[in-house]
């Protein structure tokens, strides 16, 4: 077993996700190794279960009959039934089952076709290059605040055609709402999340009213497409569904893509041999992005609820149990990945689960990959000798893995 604060194999049997041991939030990977080898299905004190192996997650993602994405039963006690966070997280795409999931996903997918994403590429390149120009000549920059976090806000803002001057609050709203998905919350974090949903809803109600009065091109404006029209053959969303899934779109592409870019730059800095290889062979950028997604998955944790009694790895799990899908562990499963602790940008195949799987596979995965590719390749081309300075700060979350700050000197 790898070196951790665990003194014996028996210690991992006491692991509690809502009250994790010292060191887990900062460096969860040794604990993941212990879960994979000693307790791939681990009962929790609250009656939920941790599921860690790649094959088990893959099975769960594909089986939408025995494993539900609906979180009403889990989120009612967590957020309060009828509360702003409860309404949001039980209405948005990721925590819903058909028919809502089918209707919303169909609309989103139709707006994120390969052709539509190809049309976004020139604007994405221009956004990245503009941000890079802003870093030039500065003695120190923060790769998160000054670069990584700005890219998805602009891309998703463009998707919904949010006016540039109105995008300021989006990041803080997103962080507060997604932060409420952590396994345990303080009263302050809960209140912050509720307030963010209410403020986001008020803003979007006004934006939607304006868009109804002046519709955009549904080929490029996802908000106009989501609103629909009376002649559409697609069932329209209710006002609540429309607002909450606009929040979901703005949130879903934000923190995870910020983490992908920030994690990628940190990993390439910390593995100079891999940075040198990518600089020498820029055609490796696509497998490099996939390895970042595997090695330091932006989203470390998913959830499902059992709709019937099931057996996983010899453990019987009752109906109605909440399952914590340990994506970060599954992406280091030695049964799937050779030398899983090695960061290798040439790794092929790379069957990671960073985007989940099955019918709920991330609807924006192609766009996220494109954002990661363009951000990393253009940053490296302009600043090949960048150095991350002392003072990097982890995001401090269990579900989402990324940095809150990456102070960096971009040029010698």
What top-level class would CATH report for the domain 73-297+352-409? mainly alpha
Answer yes or no: is pLDDT of 40 > 70: yes
Domain boundaries, the chain: 1-38, 73-297+352-409
Tell me the percentage of the chain whose pLDDT exceeds 70.
Answer: 96
Lowest mean per-residue pLDDT among 5-19, 24-38, 248-262: 5-19
The pLDDT tens digits of the residues spanning 319-331 come to: 999 999 999 999 9
- pLDDT surpassing 60 at residue 6: no
pLDDT of 66 above 70: yes
SS (H, E, C) the chain: CCCCCCCCHHHHHHCCCCCCCCCCCCCCHHHHHHHHHHCCEEECCCCCEEECCHHHHHHHHHCCCCEECCCHHHHHHHHCCCCHHHHHHHHCHHHCCCCHHHHHHHHHHHHCCHHHHHHHHHHHHHHHHHHHHHHCCCCCEECHHHHHCHHHHHHHHHHCCCCHHHCCCHHHHHHHHHHCCCCCCCHHHHHHHHHHHHHHHHHHHHHHHHHHHCCCCCCCCHHHHHHCCCCCCCCCCCHHHHHHHHHHHHHHCCHHHHHHHHHHHHHHHHCHHHHHHHHHCHHHHHHHHHHHHHHCCCECEEEEEECCCEEECCEEECCCCEEEEEHHHHCCCCCCCCCCCCCCCCCCCCCCCCCCCHHHCCCCHHHHHHHHHHHHHHHHHHCCCCEECCCCEECCCCCECCEEECEEECCC
Flag whether pLDDT at 379 surpasses 80.
Answer: yes
pTM over 0.85? The answer is yes
Lowest mean pLDDT among 103-107, 354-358, 366-370, 381-385: 103-107
Interval 281-294 mean pLDDT: 98
Mean pLDDT along residues 129-151: 96
Q: Dump pLDDT digits (tens) for 221-276.
A: 888 888 887 655 556 788 998 898 888 888 877 889 999 999 999 999 999 999 99
Whether 7 has a pLDDT exceeding 50, the answer reads no
Percentage of residues of the chain with pLDDT beyond 90: 75
Task: Please write the tens of the pLDDT for every residue from 161-209.
Answer: 999 999 989 989 999 999 999 999 999 999 999 999 999 999 999 999 9
**Is the model's pLDDT at 121 over the cut of 50?**
yes
pLDDT of residue 232: 57
Average pLDDT of every residue of the chain: 92
């Amino acid at each position: 077993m790898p070196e951790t604060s665990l003194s014996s194999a028996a210690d991992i049997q006491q692991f509690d996700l809502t009250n994790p041991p010292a060191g887990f939030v900062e460096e969860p990977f040794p604990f993941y190794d212990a879960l994979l080898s000693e307790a791939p299905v681990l009962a929790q004190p609250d009656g939920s279960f941790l599921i860690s192996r790649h094959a088990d997650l893959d099975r769960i993602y594909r089986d939408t009959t025995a494993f539900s994405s609906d979180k009403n039963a889990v989120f009612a006690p967590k957020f309060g039934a009828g509360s702003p966070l409860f309404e949001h997280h039980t209405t948005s795409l990721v925590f819903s089952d058909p028919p809502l999931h089918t209707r919303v996903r169909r609309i989103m997918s139709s707006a994120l076709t390969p052709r539509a994403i190809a049309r976004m590429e020139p604007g994405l390149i221009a956004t990245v290059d503009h941000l890079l120009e802003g870093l030039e000549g500065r003695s120190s920059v923060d790769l998160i605040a000054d670069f990584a976090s700005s890219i998805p806000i602009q891309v998703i803002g463009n998707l919904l055609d949010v006016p540039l001057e109105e995008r300021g609050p989006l990041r803080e709203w997103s962080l507060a709402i997604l932060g409420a998905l952590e396994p345990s919350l303080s009263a302050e974090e809960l209140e912050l999340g509720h307030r963010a949903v209410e403020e986001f809803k008020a803003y979007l109600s006004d934006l939607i009213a304006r868009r109804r009065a002046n519709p955009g091109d549904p080929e490029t404006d996802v908000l106009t497409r989501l609103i629909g029209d009376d002649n559409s053959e697609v069932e329209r969303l209710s006002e609540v569904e429309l607002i909450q899934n606009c929040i979901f779109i703005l949130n879903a592409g934000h923190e995870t893509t910020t983490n992908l870019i920030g994690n990628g730059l940190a990993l390439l800095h910390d593995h100079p041999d891999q940075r040198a290889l990518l600089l020498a062979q820029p055609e490796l950028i696509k497998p490099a992005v996939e390895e970042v997604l595997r090695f330091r998955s932006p989203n470390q944790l998913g959830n499902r609820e059992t709709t019937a009694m099931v057996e996983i790895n010899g453990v019987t799990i009752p109906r109605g149990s909440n399952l914590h899908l340990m994506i970060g562990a599954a992406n280091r499963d030695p049964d799937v990945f050779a030398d899983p602790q090695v960061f290798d940008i040439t790794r092929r195949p790379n069957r990671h689960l960073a985007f989940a799987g099955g019918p709920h596979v991330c609807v924006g995965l192609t766009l996220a990959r494109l954002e990661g590719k363009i951000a990393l390749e253009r940053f490296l081309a302009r600043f090949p000798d960048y150095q991350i300075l002392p003072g990097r700060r982890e995001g401090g979350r269990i579900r989402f893995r990324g940095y809150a700050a990456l102070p960096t000197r971009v040029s010698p």
